[in-house]
Structure 1
């Protein structure tokens, strides 16, 4: 009987360790994602591996990527505005023929 209690205590410590480390939450979210798939993947283990890898990204990784997206969108907007300005300036100096091509 004492062996059974020691085994239960050991299991309980291990369970708390997994919860504290976020393993239980990660596994749960991956299994829920698998369950919610409209069509079951051919390789469930591969699905779990891929999604566990994605779940392993830290919030710092996510924040860095989000900031990079913001920076790139701002740069894209600036370049689009510059492109528009340059086209306008070019049209003032080069007349456009009737077919839309610039005259040479």
Structure 2
């Protein structure tokens, strides 16, 4: 019996902790909002995440950032290649630094 009371006491402490932290109120409010929705969302978990404020970035935002990243990566690659070509052309007209010091 003592083991049962200890487990119950831990549960009660945890429940009070959640209540004190406002977690129970927040969860209750979100679940009530979900219950009161006339058209239930296809993804209830996503609904809960959005209403708790823990939702990740919007998928449209993520897609636009991926597109921007791809474009910037392509520009970077072009600039690196252009830099390499210009260095090679410069070396054709200027001797390496070691050769200039000997003159």
| TM-score, normalised with respect to structure 1 | 0.49
Indicate the structure (1 or 2) with the bigger Cα radius of gyration. Answer: 2
